[in-house]
Amino acid sequence: MAAAECVAAIVWGREGGATCEEEPAGERVSGRAGAEVGLVRSSPRCEIGADLEQKIASRDSSVSALEQFKAAGTDRYMKERSSIAVIGLSVHTAPVEMREKLAVPEAQWPRAISELCNLNHIEEAAVLSTCNRMEIYVVALSWHRGIREVTDWMAKTSGIPASELREHLFMLRDGDATRHLFEVSAGLDSLVLGEGQILAQVKQVVRVGQGSGGLGKNIDRLFKDAITAGKRVRSETNISSGAVSVSSAAVELALMKLPKSQSVSARMLVIGAGKMGKLVIKHLASKGCRKVVVVNRSAERVDAIREELKDVEIVYKPLDEMMSSAAEADVVFTSTASETLLFFKENVKLLPPVSDEVGGVRFFVDISVPRNVGSCVSDLKLARVYNVDDLKEVVEANKEDRLRKAMEAQTIITQELKRFEAWRDSLETVPTIKKLRSYADRIKVAELEKCYQRIGNEALTKKMKKAIDDLSNSIVNKLLHGPLQHLRCDGSDSRTLDETLENMHALNRMFSLDTDKSILEQKIKAKVEKAQN
């Protein structure tokens, strides 16, 4: 299989390690423009005093910038509509050495979303960080300024110069950004075509975002529609048939490197009993392996796997026996959440050599991001290291079949894309409806006051006043009924939507509602108040 990918959610601090949520794949859609940006885990160390001082300075700077922005007027922004954008990198654009630096633990997603939404021109944000991709989705008040702010934020957070990141990043806007997420969710932008774990990862973005209150209306709908697209692709096409996961590809790679006569009898060690580790064990069993040693922080997960796979002898070893277990293994699979390397050239060099029957070389198949095995281990004569990028050797097959399946899936994605864009376009009429209603209510209130003054309040009973109020409300409602009906659209009919938008612009002109400028000013005001608080 081909240009594919393990999309893995790196869930830090959980026993069993990073869960490489594997996803289906397909050919990368061409025409994606590269751009700058980058993100990495922030340093665990911080000076509280310096941090507070920096926050105050940042707030003051933000307020100053926003006040200048507000004072300068909004006319220069009126030609721009809030844009949906994605900035990121993946297995297609960046090596594992860079991807591991940019990985954002799931526990830090809410904080990242909050920081992104605090940027001057960013309204909404979401983070999709997996073992083979790091992508930031935003709704930008101003496209160019928003992208620059996110770029600066990522560079500052990662500590990686933007000039270095530019070589590996892509940046997509509006329809292209939406299509990209739908393709990711459907498994068309992955290392491995047909694996469904990326869909679970996209769902997790929604759960985490909603739990933290960080997802806005547009991003929330975007990700939910992406989930729908991913489900439809899997249920209405055979894209998942014969799919290979990252775990199975790792097993296939190891067996390819071993002598055929020893592929089943070789001594296998799996470090980490999380989702990926469990899948590795399952695939080893499916290939005929009857014994696997598993190193994990505790025995509970290993016991659960043992209960499920009764035909395989699973031997549990604690973490402090990792090196001694590696000394007795021919192939070592690693899949943990460790932020530091588990195997270095120095300690691997001390391991006893493996038997000539298995080729005399100990294999390390590292499917963790960040990596668990140092690349320098391959400098040793009797050791070889393979990481997730090396799995392309296994999945680079059946291109024609993959392209055919991807074309079927694209039809569904295009349908879902149109549905999302129609929904988003239909939102444009909401401010006009509110402004027109407010305009009419102001006239009604003013005319009622004049009427009451002419009649005299002392001459009006409560019943009479209520009758007049009801009459005025009825007249306003009936007059507005027609225009408002022509402003309401569910986005399901493109012809109706076009007419609705034409009506909206006409009403804006006729009643001088100036809706776009009013909405933008409200957003700017909200940003200023948020920064001041």
Q: What is the mean pLDDT of residues 386-394?
A: 83
CATH number of the domain residue 367 falls in:
3.40.50.720
Query: Do residue 381 and residue 407 come from a single domain?
Result: no
102 contacts 38 by C-beta, under 8 angstroms: yes
Of 217-221, 233-237, 384-388, 524-528, the poorest mean pLDDT is in 524-528
In a domain, 2, yes or no: no
In a domain, 484, yes or no: yes
Q: Which two tokens stand for residue 196?
A: 């469904």
In this prediction, residue 317 carries a pLDDT of: 94
104 contacts 135 by C-beta, under 8 angstroms: no
Is 85's pLDDT higher than 70? yes
Last residue of a domain, one of 190, 210, 236: 236
How far is the C-alpha of 241 from the C-alpha of 248, rounded, in Å?
A: 14
pLDDT tens profile 16-36: 333 344 433 333 333 333 333
Question: Can you tell me which residue has the tokens 């721009």?
Answer: 80
In a domain, 17, yes or no: no
Query: Do residue 143 and residue 209 come from a single domain?
Result: yes
Query: Do residue 305 and residue 355 come from a single domain?
Result: yes
* DSSP-based helix, strand, coil % in the chain, nearest 5: 55, 10, 30
Judging by DSSP bridges, how do beta strands 291-295 and 268-271 pair with one another? parallel
How far is the C-alpha of 268 from the C-alpha of 18, rounded, in Å?
A: 20
Query: Do residue 287 and residue 173 come from a single domain?
Result: no
Q: Which helix (H) or strand (E) holds 51?
A: helix 48-71
Range with the largest mean pLDDT of 134-138, 257-261, 435-439, 452-456: 134-138
Q: What is the largest CA-CA distance in the chain?
A: 110
In a domain, 113, yes or no: yes
In a domain, 66, yes or no: no
Query: Do residue 514 and residue 437 come from a single domain?
Result: yes
Query: Do residue 95 and residue 198 come from a single domain?
Result: yes
Is 54's pLDDT higher than 90? no
Q: List strand residue ranges (DSSP E) for 268-310, in order.
A: 268-271, 291-295
Catalytic annotation, pick one of 6, 20, 117, 131? 131
In this prediction, residue 48 carries a pLDDT of: 36
In this prediction, residue 167 carries a pLDDT of: 87
In this prediction, residue 52 carries a pLDDT of: 43
Active site residue 451: no
In a domain, 91, yes or no: yes
Q: What is the mean pLDDT of residues 197-223?
A: 87
Q: Which two tokens stand for residue 268?
A: 């296998």
Question: Can you tell me which residue has the tokens 């073992």?
Answer: 131
φ, ψ for residue 19 (rounded to 5)?
A: -90, 110
In a domain, 471, yes or no: yes
Q: Please name every residue paired with 19 in a beta bridge, in sequence order, or none if there are none.
A: 9
Average pLDDT, the chain: 77
How far is the C-alpha of 385 from the C-alpha of 366, rounded, in Å?
A: 7
Q: What is the mean pLDDT of residues 185-206?
A: 85
Confidence of residue 175 (pLDDT cuts 50, 70, 90): very high
Last residue of a domain, one of 331, 354, 388: 388
Q: What is the mean pLDDT of residues 497-521?
A: 63
5 contacts 387 by C-beta, under 8 angstroms: no
Is 441's pLDDT higher than 80? yes
In this prediction, residue 47 carries a pLDDT of: 36
SS3 486: coil
Q: Kindly state the DSSP code that residue 135 receives in the 8-state scheme.
A: E
pLDDT tens profile 1-11: 333 333 333 22
Range with the largest mean pLDDT of 17-21, 62-66, 220-224, 251-255: 220-224
Q: Please name every residue paired with 315 in a beta bridge, in sequence order, or none if there are none.
A: 293
| Alpha helices (H) in 317-398, listed in sequence order | 322-327, 345-349, 392-395
Number of domains within the chain = 3
Query: Do residue 164 and residue 203 come from a single domain?
Result: yes
CATH number of the domain residue 161 falls in:
3.30.460.30
pLDDT tens profile 331-354: 999 999 888 899 999 999 999 999
Confidence of residue 59 (pLDDT cuts 50, 70, 90): low
In a domain, 186, yes or no: yes
Confidence of residue 13 (pLDDT cuts 50, 70, 90): very low
In this prediction, residue 342 carries a pLDDT of: 94
Q: How wide is the angle at C-alpha 390 spanned by C-alphas 301 and 33, nearest 5°?
A: 110
pLDDT tens profile 228-242: 999 999 888 877 766
Task: Kindly state the percentage of the chain with pLDDT values over 70.
Answer: 72
| Alpha helices (H) in 287-398, listed in sequence order | 300-308, 322-327, 345-349, 392-395
Last residue of a domain, one of 388, 413, 437: 388
In this prediction, residue 533 carries a pLDDT of: 59
- Taking alpha carbons only, the member of 186, 175, 202, 185 closest to residue 424 is 175
Query: Do residue 271 and residue 132 come from a single domain?
Result: no
Query: Do residue 197 and residue 297 come from a single domain?
Result: no
Q: Which has more pLDDT, 260 or 321?
A: 321
Query: Do residue 264 and residue 224 come from a single domain?
Result: no
Sign for the CA dihedral angle at 5, 6, 12, 18 comes to: negative
The residues, ordered by sequence, that sit 6+ positions from 309 with a Cβ below 8 Å of its Cβ are: 281, 282, 285
Domain with 434, as residue range(s), is 402-530
Query: Do residue 374 and residue 271 come from a single domain?
Result: yes
Query: Do residue 139 and residue 280 come from a single domain?
Result: no
